[in-house]
Amino acid sequence: MSRWFLFTLCALLGLAMLVCGLLMPAHLRAIDDTVLSVAGRGSPSIVDEGLTLVKEQQLGAAEMCLEVARQQHLAGTRKLGLAVGNLAMEQPELLRWGGAAPLLDRLFGTNDDAATAGTKPITDFLVRDSSRAKVLEFLSTSRQASVQALLGCRLLTNTVIFSPSPSASGQALDTAVSLCGLLLEQGRLGFSPAIAEMAAEANAGKGSQPLEQLLLDLMSLGQRFNWDQLVVFVSQIESPQTLRVLADRVRNAGKQLPLLFATVRLSGEPAAVGNYLMRYSKTGFNDLAQSARLGAGALKAMVAGEKRPHPAPFWNRLTQYTPFAQFATVAVDYSWRMPWLALGLKWLLYFSGGFWIAAAGHFMRRPISPLEAPLQVRGFHLAREVLFAFGFLLVVLLLSEPFLAQQSQRAILPFRLRLSLATLTAPMGKSGPHTLNMNDQLYSLLTLLLFFVLQGLIYTACMIKLAEIRRQRVVARVKLKLLENEENLFDAGLYLGFVGTIICLILVSFRIITLSLMAAYSSTSFGIIFVAVLKIFNVRPLRRRLLLEAEANSAETAAPVTTSGLAASS
């Protein structure tokens, strides 16, 4: 009866630990919707941000937020639409540039071209000869050193990306300089010292490519935003690297451009948004839309951790019951405020669940017979239960962790370099051998790690068995027989290695996964290595010692028999 009671108690503890671990909404590569909901509670929404922009008379930026609100069918969209429409009717002069721009009004007045500038990208307006000439003339009188250093780059003839300004096709460089100069003059760029340093290095002959890349990024933004939208977008960017990342994402945004604009503004962390979109180039915009619906707090929590949102249907079903609901409230709060602590606690719960389940199995074993009593060594069942708990933790993580083996979506920033005619006309060599892409490499590395961990667990189990045999209260001859009886256990690494390789090759043959042959055969390789180390460095020395002990015991037993026989004959 006590055995059944202990079995029931340990099984219930193990299941309770497992359920609590599953209810902990902390993951390695994902963030639960429940955590995002808590993080976004009470934080500003895209509609709130749009209304703030309306109050600041930034009509163009508010229109971007309105477009996102309509696409996502957000609550308050009608209110924001009325506010934007009223602002446009009450202050029609804002339509000229998309917002208040006294400097541009002073430069261009209210001529026909300027009157419609707010309805088109600012680059389309500045690329005109008359507009560009007025801007360059104005910037030439600027007292800012960074602006003057930038204008000095128009005299460069060894440019890399743009054609030199004095050349017949130098309008692009002049337009980029004009756009950047206007932003510098109005103090809209938070990394103006970096621009001044790049311009100084270019003028000193140290290379103009970093500055030209920055100008190209600004041009890309200017081709898609009006003046007000461009000012709002770049005013939060703090480094040229962040500008380059966001400009690349803007070029690839397509219809998601308003969403990118709104999330950069709402989060206030353009670098985090850009890095997230670079890491998740395929699903990033959908993830941004999903988190932005919940508010700025949810958006910040997602991009800061660079984790994809993940629905939690199991979590939602279990939290409808009172005992789990109380635990869930604390678990969500910890997963939001201290995610790594929550993740560690989750793994500890999984480990504890495996330990108690193994303990339940131990109590279900039949009682030990008197014949096997000398083979029992106290404490070793705890070592086996701990080992089972590690294996249980590994299996549960593989089955429950979302996006663990997700294919890599990381985008690579393009490298732009104008090549000479000799390079362009040089014959192209044949493409090299097929190489694995990032996704294949990820699968291969995960497979290698999995096989290594499994072989390590089997090796540890064999070492525990060796230590147990060494401490059993039987003679050396019996221990040798027990070692022979465990040969199948000692060869388990080889069996697992062969099975792993066969399974991998089958999955590759049916194109279920893509792996390199190295990853497939690594299972057998690890099995051979671990079994060889076990038998050569652990089993062989123990067997040698037991053989010597058995021979010594045989000699001691034979000596008294011989002595007694001689005495009897005499």
User: pLDDT value at position 117?
Assistant: 54
| Three-state DSSP string of 5-40 | HHHHHHHHHHHHHHHHHHHCCECCCEEEHHHHHHHH
Q: ∠ at Cα 199 (197, 201), nearest 5°?
A: 70
Cα separation, 513 vs 407, in Å, equals 11
Instruction: State the distance between the two ends of the chain, measured CA to CA, in whole angstroms.
Output: 64
- In this structure, the answer to whether residues 306 and 329 fall within a common structural domain is no
- In this structure, the answer to whether residues 299 and 340 fall within a common structural domain is no
User: pLDDT value at position 428?
Assistant: 40
Q: And the tokens for 123?
A: 């680059």
- In this structure, the answer to whether residues 271 and 129 fall within a common structural domain is yes
564 inside domain = no
Stronger pLDDT, 553 or 538, i.e. the higher one: 538
Q: Percentage of the chain surpassing pLDDT 70?
A: 87
Q: What is the pLDDT of residues 471-519, one digit of tens each?
A: 998 999 999 999 999 999 999 999 999 998 998 888 778 776 666 677 7
- In this structure, the answer to whether residues 121 and 204 fall within a common structural domain is yes
- In this structure, the answer to whether residues 62 and 190 fall within a common structural domain is yes
| Enclosing domain of residue 329 | 2-29+312-400
In this structure, how many other beta carbons lie within 10 angstroms of the beta carbon of residue 90?
Answer: 9
548 inside domain = yes
369 inside domain = yes
User: pLDDT value at position 511?
Assistant: 73
User: pLDDT value at position 316?
Assistant: 63
Q: What is the pLDDT of residues 269-302, one digit of tens each?
A: 999 999 999 999 999 999 999 999 999 999 999 9
The C-alpha torsion from 236 through 242 and 245 to 249, rounded to 10°, is -10
For residue 119, pLDDT over 90 is answered with no
282 inside domain = yes
Which range among 227-241, 371-385, 540-554 shows the weakest confidence by mean pLDDT? 371-385
- In this structure, the answer to whether residues 131 and 91 fall within a common structural domain is yes
Q: Of 258, 282, 310, at which residue does a domain stop?
A: 310
Q: How confident is the model at residue 111 (pLDDT cuts 50, 70, 90)?
A: low
- In this structure, the answer to whether residues 510 and 549 fall within a common structural domain is yes
343 inside domain = yes
Amino acid residing at 451: F
Across 147-174, average pLDDT: 92
**Closest C-alpha among 404, 343, 346 to residue 19:** 346
- In this structure, the answer to whether residues 72 and 16 fall within a common structural domain is no
- In this structure, the answer to whether residues 316 and 250 fall within a common structural domain is no
- In this structure, the answer to whether residues 268 and 364 fall within a common structural domain is no
Inter-residue contact 412 to 38 (CB < 8 Å): no
- Write down the pTM of the prediction: 0.80
- The chain-wide mean pLDDT, for the chain, equals 86
Q: What is the pLDDT of residues 126-136, one digit of tens each?
A: 999 999 999 99
Inter-residue contact 380 to 414 (CB < 8 Å): no
User: pLDDT value at position 433?
Assistant: 38
3-state secondary structure of 323: helix
Q: How confident is the model at residue 405 (pLDDT cuts 50, 70, 90)?
A: low
Q: What is the DSSP letter of 538?
A: I
538 inside domain = yes
406 inside domain = no
For residue 429, pLDDT over 60 is answered with no
User: pLDDT value at position 179?
Assistant: 95
- In this structure, the answer to whether residues 152 and 78 fall within a common structural domain is yes
Which range among 8-12, 14-18, 369-373, 465-469 shows the weakest confidence by mean pLDDT? 369-373
Q: Of 242, 275, 310, at which residue does a domain stop?
A: 310
How many domains is the chain partitioned into structurally?
A: 3
- In this structure, the answer to whether residues 213 and 272 fall within a common structural domain is yes
